[in-house]
Amino acid sequence: MEFKDYYVVLGVDPTVDDKAIKTAFRKLARQYHPDVSKHPQAEAKFKEVAEAYEVLHNAEKRAEYDELRENRSRRQSHQQQGRQSGASGSSQHGFAPGGQGGFEQSDQDFSDFFNSIFGSANANENGFQYESRRGRAESSAQKGRDVEIEFPIFLEDTLADAVKPIEYILPYQDSQGYRQEMKKSLKVKIPAGVADGERIRLKGQGTPGSGHAPHGDVYLHIRLVPHPLFDVEGHNLTIALPLAPWEAALGTKITLPTLSGKIQLTIPANSQSGQRMRIKGKGLVSKTGTGDLFAVIKIVMPNHADETTKQLWTQLADKAKFDARAEWNTEPNKERNKEWSNQP
């Protein structure tokens, strides 16, 4: 087991007082707290820092840890001397405190290293407790812990009631106080119209309560899976509708995909890029009704043009008499340019 130097983790000298330890912890906690930090390893870093603080801010634990730390450094220097004098050295690797006693089951938040010194039960008895550490064994009856699970769902599956299978692992403490896990498989009815960020409660499906208290609940945190074609705006959907320039100019009929199947859509002549066409009732289902689908026109040029096509474009350019940049020469723009050109 790898030895953890808690002083290094907090970036403090082993001789510093409790106040300096607290200051170092607060600084790192602000940097890595999972609720405020965007650091990719924020949670792991924070746990490491919290574990170090847990030990070093408690006089008793700090004294115990310091003793182990000193013993280790004495052993290391002894081994080094042994090696230097040609001895084979001991087979010890890393750190094995307490005659390798320790606990088979590690505490879910503190490292094996911590548990091997202070025991997993000890981790739950002191001041600092992280979220998942709240579910300590209590002698009195107490309702089990609630569990929150991220639940990704496809847009298509929100249109009507759906039954979805779900599997999850529930941690719990057995009567001996050891951490155990149980696997649960359920089928859940997901009602039509669930939205991103909503929570679905599954009563009594959380961790078992202590004594005769009821189980906790499970909360499914709904996450809508991004769709390759549709974007969500409230309960409306948008889709980019690519059109060839001649389709936009002359109008056409196209087949448009919607969440509930394909439909025919008539594109009027002289359609503009960016124009939104509303298809009523083809959005997402919500409590206040069904949203709409907006097809946003995007005029797309062909990648290559052969000689004939080029000639036809040239003919069109000659006959159309169209200035695509006419708005650059409007009066307000001219006035503005004049006004700003007179500035010193």
Partner 1 sequence: MIQLIISEVNPQLNVEEFCHCASISETLLHELVEHSIAVPVAGVHAHEWLFNITTVSIVKKATRIHRDLAIDWAGIALALNLLDDIEKLKVENEHLKKQLSRFCGE
**Footprint of partner 1 (CB under 8 A):** 26, 29-30, 33, 35-36, 46, 50, 128-131, 134, 143, 146, 148, 163, 165, 185-191, 194, 197-203, 205, 217, 219-220, 226, 231, 233, 238, 240, 274, 296, 298
Min CB(268)–partner 1 separation in Å: 20
CB-based contact 258:271 (threshold 8 Å): no
Question: Which is closer to partner 1, CB of 69 or CB of 259?
Answer: 259
In this structure, which long-range contacts are made by residues 208-212, counting pairs with CB atoms below 8 Å and at least 24 apart in sequence?
Answer: 208/144, 208/172, 209/141, 209/142, 209/143, 209/144, 210/137, 210/138, 210/139, 210/140, 210/141, 210/142, 210/144, 211/140, 211/141, 211/142, 212/141
Structure tokens at 316: 């069109």
Least distance (Å) between residue 145 CB and partner 1? 9
C-beta closer to partner 1: residue 94 or 274: 274
Q: Letter for the amino acid at 92?
A: Q
> What residues pair up with 233 in beta bridges, in sequence order?
236
Structure token digits, residue 86: 């040609």
Q: Are 266 and 295 in contact (CB under 8 A)?
A: no
Q: Which is nearer to partner 1, 205 or 207 (CB)?
A: 205
Nearer to partner 1, 117 or 224 (CB): 224
Tell me the residue ranges of DSSP E strands in the chain.
Answer: 147-153, 162-173, 179-190, 199-202, 218-224, 230-233, 236-243, 252-258, 261-267, 276-279, 285-286, 289-290, 293-299
Residue from 174, 175, 170, 62 nearest 126 by CA: 62
Quick one: 62 or 136, whose CB is closer to partner 1?
Answer: 136
CB of 174: closest distance to partner 1 in angstroms?
Answer: 22
Which strands sit side by side in the sheet containing 230-233, from one edge to the other?
230-233, 236-243, 293-299, 276-279
| C-beta of 39 vs 143, nearer to partner 1 | 143
- Of 188, 216, 190, 213, the residue nearest 204 (C-alpha): 216
Quickly list H helices, 162-275. 245-250
Q: Which is nearer to partner 1, 32 or 118 (CB)?
A: 32
Tell me how long the chain is: 344
Of residues 12 and 297, the one with the C-beta less far from partner 1 = 297
Least distance between partner 1 and beta carbon 11 (Å) = 17
Would you say 89 or 152 has its CB closer to partner 1?
152
Tell me how many helices (H) and strands (E) the chain has: 8, 13
Of 123, 127, 111, 216, residue with least CA distance to 168? 216
CB 206 within 8 A of CB 134: no
| Smallest gap from residue 77 Cβ to partner 1 (A) | 37
